[in-house]
A and B are shown apart, each in its own frame.
Chain A
Amino acid sequence: LAKKYKEDKMSNLVEEYFEAHSSSKVLTSDRTLQKLRKKKLNQQTLHDLLRKAPLAYDAEIKMLNQQHENLFSKWMLQLHLGFNIVLYGLGSKRDLLEKFRTSVLKDSVHLVVNGYFPSITIRSILSSITEEVLDHVGTFRSPPDQLEFIIKRFKEDSSLELYILIHNLDGQMLRGEKSQQILAQLSSLPSIYFIASIDHINAPLMWDQAKLSLYNWLWYETTTFGPYVEETSYENSFLVQQSGSLALSSLTHVLHSLTLNARGIFRLLAQYQLENKDNPSYPGLPFQDFYQQCREAFLVNSDLTLRAQLTEFRDHKLIRTKRGTDGVEYLLIPVDDGTLTDFLEKEDEAV
């Protein structure tokens, strides 16, 4: 009976998938945040605002944490018996792991890896092991070589013990097959103990049979409901001002340091782009036309000066050039229209 029920559920799931993906047309309203006229918050103000907002259910969350902390001694036993521990569940597990670190591991050698940190690499993890734990100076050609060295050292010297705590094993940089392979091999060493946390719903997809057996995971559900403060601070959310694409403030900063003519050139390009913003197939302004316009506005006097100017823009990532199918060079400003409009308005005010 239970099996049948399960099958039913399965087929339902499948149907739901096809239902969701049946029509390529998506019915949503066309409203955009731009029209909401709400200023975009930046990281700092967001943080401040959130601090003002009270954290709900403090007492209950503390209770939950208390429950998890009771498991600490059990974890230690299981770690020493060759298992590695992985924590899953809703909420940030950072504080929990920190608590574990400060209360249980304070006397032993341990390494903390922040997987959510966007520029962490497997090489840096390995280097911190070789340099700080094993006191080895010198470089390695590739991570596998380094790993081999570590394995050798740990096998030779049985007194070495190392605890590795990984926050967000499923972080952007550690997701890759290679890094997981190396971590798995590390974790299979008997004197290295792993405690990791995962958050992404598809995190277990990273591991195949071989890796799973190397990792030898014991799963623990630790739902904390804690806010992901550190973890999401690197997550470039679309609602927060993005550092990746050009923001208004940086745009004005760069342009203020340019000559008047250069600013004029950029303005010209921006205006032209805004005029064509409703045209989805607008490829950008062809270079020759642009040169013509600039000449007419007495902004440049030769092809060469314009090119030099454009190179400077390109170095600041203010424009992008694209070669069309006809071999003509097209110029584009890789900034969204709203920011561009704001910029032009500001410029007008200034003038």
Chain B
Amino acid sequence: QQIQEDLNKQFFDNLVNFLRQSHSDFQEKTPEWTRGMKSREIPTAALVLGVNVTDHNMTFRSLSEVLQNNITPYIALLEAKDCAGIKNLMQKLMGQLMNCHIDEDSLEDEDYVQVSQKRIRCSMTCLVNWYESATKKTNSGTPSKRTSSSSHGQYPPVVVILKDMESFSTKVLQDFIVISSQHIHELPLVLIFGIATSPMMIHNLLPHAVSSLLCIELFQSLSCKEHLSTVIDKLLLTTQFPFKLGEKVLQVLFNIFLYHDFSVQNFIKGYQLCIVEHFYSQPLSVLCCQLEDAKMQANALSHEQCENVRRLPSFRRYVESQMSEKQIALLTEDSCLKETVKELLEDLHVYHENYVSVLRCLHVFTSFLPKYPLGKQIRELHCTCLEDRVWETEEYESSLQLARMLNKSDLVTMLQQCVEIFVSSSGKEFDKIVEKLKEFLTQFQNLEEEAFQEQDVSVSSQKELQKKTDLYHLQKTLLELKESRRSKKLTKFEVLRFEVVDYIDSLVREHLVPADHKTLHEVVYFNTASFLREHLNAAPRIALHTALNNPYCYLKNQALKADGGSISNKAPDICIAYRLHLECGRLINLVDWLEAFSTVVMAAEGPNADAASSDQDDDIIHARFIRAVSELELLGFIKPSKQKTDHVARLTWGSC
């Protein structure tokens, strides 16, 4: 658990840093802009943030931090849920602004002559807690505050951030804008709207009279997809984190992201959950750490853990491929096993380092191709590589073919670009494990030179063609040209061949499917997609339906086993009632339902029931029916209806 917490933290820090970075450029713009603003209207910045509302908290927090540091304005952050009426809004605003004051003043109070006076005011606001500060009426508060803070040199603007513009009620918003526009001379106010949908929203929410009081500038934030791809770049495709995700799990996470919510935060939550589950359920996850630590851990393995290692399917495969005496040693002696485990772990580590760099390289190649047969984003490529052997897929074939077709000089420049990217990344992140990279590079350079030479040749031949005019020479030059063309073809071929070599070399060697070919991959890969799907993206209705329709799934009793669509009459009461209700239309007559129910139940008890006690039986069945029906009502399948006496309305339709 310790390791895991560390990992979690590390990973989180990284993430926060990254998010900061990605917002920074856009944040830099806004402060500058707020500083520049001076006009009669209320300056307003509309930030178009996209639908992933949950990710915006971070943005706003860092935005207010940046503003605080750079321009000394007082910042209030308003949320729609706190501002049901204009009064609440004002109270919240005042409360937050007062608090801002206190923070600032305590830092810089030695600069002031009127410290004492201000102190009193501040201490007063300190003393009276939220209640009192909230009850302070806005009209008296606003101007006085401004005069007190105007000694901050040039008038610092007061920034009000409205986090979720869409959920504000129009009336409150309009009133607030109108009121603050009246005070704009004494109180330099800047509004920042956070908009999830589109800037059209402002005009829908505000009538012309109000929106004319605003001076709006639009700012666009990065789309969530770009966020995701950077997150993936930073998290999944580094060797920094020993923990990896399997292909299926990744697919599930991407699906949730792309088809459900676009929320990076949820993606991270899923990732976190994977980490927790991996370290919780997999006994060998102790080995999932940096290489040196992992080796230490491997030395300290207990006998039981060694047994666990032996039980791993990938390890078994490895053992089977060994010589017989080695096999025995591996299976019986712990020390031998530990040595092998260390080797294997190192192997795995090397494999990961190579994998990432080659994957990047391949991505650069394929992302230049038209139609992107292997996918546009690096995550898609990553998934295909994890899923199966890449070189066996059709897409890979077609991308190879496309690469062959595309052999023009501009491709060469593209290749060069790739190499540059690749060199920079390999120089930064890896300590050169594969000498191959350099080999590639020299090959590329050769290519370039040759291309130049060719160009020279062709140019000169062209010139020659223009010069010589008599037949003999013409024939000769044409022949030469032909020759040179052939040679040109050959050099083109070289590019091609080069590529093929490149592909085959790097792919066959390093792009192997982890699950298939790497021993001990269970230690670092988490691949239980069903677990994720169950706990993150649950489907309560399906669970209810199966439980009601087919109780055998849960209650393993032979009597409940039913074939096909029918249900056994020995099922729990609620299942029978549910089954009968499925056969009805929109309204259900309770009497008929009761009768059908009692028929089924009687048939189930038929053989041993006596006619004598039927009256009491009847009552009991009635009671059981009542229980089943009220349970169905609690579950939301039916509701009492007033349309007809003693009827209930069905709230679901069809047969589910």
Chain A residues near B (Cβ < 8 Å): 12-13, 16-17, 19-21, 26-29, 31-36, 38, 41, 45-46, 49-50, 52-53, 56-57, 60-61, 63-64, 74, 77-78, 81, 83, 88-91, 141, 144-145, 148, 181, 198-204, 209-210, 212-213, 216, 218-221, 223, 225, 227-228, 231-232, 235, 237-240
Pair A21/B540 contact, Cβ less than 8 Å? no
Asked if A49 meets B592 with Cβ closer than 8 Å, knowing A64-B554, A225-B547, A232-B627, the reply is no
In the assembly, what is the distance between CA of A272 and CA of B622, in Å? 34
Nearest 8 interchain pairs by C-beta? A16-B654, A219-B538, A213-B54, A90-B547, A49-B623, A60-B555, A88-B540, A20-B653
Assuming A201-B652, A228-B634, is B626 touching A240 (CB within 8 A)?
yes
Is B590 touching A225 in the complex (CB atoms < 8 A)?
Answer: no
Q: How far is the CA of A232 from the CA of B573 in the complex (A)?
A: 15
A53 contact set on B, CB distance < 8 A? 620, 623-624
Contact of A77 (CB < 8 Å), options: B82, B280, B554, B634: B280
**Also in contact, A29 and B591, with CB within 8 A (given A61-B555, A219-B536):** yes
Q: How far is the CA of A91 from the CA of B636 in the complex (A)?
A: 13
- Between A and B, 19 residue pairs with Cβ closer than 8 Å are A20-B650, A20-B653, A27-B585, A28-B644, A28-B647, A41-B623, A46-B626, A57-B555, A60-B556, A81-B272, A88-B540, A88-B544, A89-B544, A89-B547, A90-B635, A141-B131, A201-B544, A210-B54, A225-B555
A83 to chain B, nearest CB (A): 7
- Chain B residues, CB < 8 A from A218: 273, 535-536
Chain B 251-266 interface 0/1 with A at a Cβ cutoff of 8 Å (1 = within): 0000000000101011
B590 close to A17 (CB less than 8 A): no
Residues on B with beta carbons closer than 8 Å to the beta carbon of A63: 556
**CB-CB under 8 A for A144 and B586, given A64-B554, A201-B544, A202-B636:** no
Whether B629 is near chain A, meaning CB under 8 Å from some CB there, is yes
Chain B, interface SS category: helix
Give the docked Cα–Cα distance between A90 and B640 (Å): 21
B572 on the A face (CB < 8 A): yes
Give the CA-CA distance A188 to B448 in the complex, in Å.
59
Determine if B556 and A50 form an interchain contact, defined as CB atoms under 8 angstroms apart: no
With A and B bound together, what is the CA distance between A86 and B543 in angstroms? 14
Q: How far is the CA of A202 from the CA of B541 in the complex (A)?
A: 8
Which residues of B are interface residues toward A (Cβ below 8 A)? 52-54, 81-82, 130-131, 164, 261, 263, 265-266, 269, 272-273, 276, 280, 534-538, 540-541, 543-544, 547-548, 551, 554-557, 560, 570, 572-574, 584-592, 594, 619-620, 622-627, 629-631, 633-637, 640, 643-648, 650, 652-656
Residues of A within 8 A of B272 (CB): 81
Query: Does B633 contact A60, Cβ atoms closer than 8 Å?
Result: no
Beta-carbon contact of B588 and A90 below 8 Å? no
Q: Are B535 and A219 in contact (CB under 8 A)?
A: yes
Q: Which of B130, B266, B536, B623 contacts A46 (CB 8 A)?
A: B623
Closest B residue, CB atoms, query A336: B645
Instruction: Point out the residues of chain B lying under 8 angstroms from A57, CB to CB.
Output: 555, 557, 560, 572
CB distance from A69 to the nearest CB of B (A): 15
Contact A21 B586 (CB under 8 A): yes
Partner of B591 from A31, A50, A56, A202 at Cβ < 8 Å: A31
Contact across chains for A38 and B622 when beta carbons are under 8 A apart: yes
Question: Would you give the shortest CB distance from B212 to chain A, in whole angstroms?
Answer: 31
Docked complex Cα distance between A220 and B556 (Å): 20
In the complex, the answer to whether A36 meets B591 with C-beta atoms within 8 Å is yes
Q: Which residue of B lies closest to A228 (CB)?
A: B631
- How close is B344's CB to chain A, nearest CB, in angstroms? 29
Closest Cβ–Cβ distance, residue B134 to chain A (whole Å): 9
> Is A225 within 8 A of B263, CB to CB?
no
Task: Point out the residues of chain B lying under 8 angstroms from A227, CB to CB.
Answer: 627, 631
Q: Give the CA-CA distance A97 to B538 in the complex, in Å.
A: 20
B570 CB, min distance to chain A CBs, angstroms: 8
Contact of A201 (CB < 8 Å), options: B261, B535, B541, B551: B541
State A16–B555 Cα separation when bound (angstroms): 30
- Inter-chain contacts of B570 with A (CB < 8 A): 56
Q: Tell me the smallest distance from the CB of A118 to a CB of chain B, in Å.
A: 12
Chain A residues positioned under 8 Å from B625 (CB to CB): 239
Q: From the candidates A26, A29, A210, name the one contacting B586 in the complex (CB within 8 A).
A: A26
A240: which B residues are within 8 A, CB to CB?
626, 630
- Which residue of A has the minimal Cβ distance to B573? A56
Q: Are B273 and A83 in contact (CB-based, < 8 A)?
A: yes
Whether B554 and A225, one on each chain, are in contact in the complex, defined by CB atoms closer than 8 angstroms, is: yes
Pick from B635, B643, B644, B656: contact of A200, CB below 8 A.
B635
Contacts of B656 in A (CB 8 A): 13
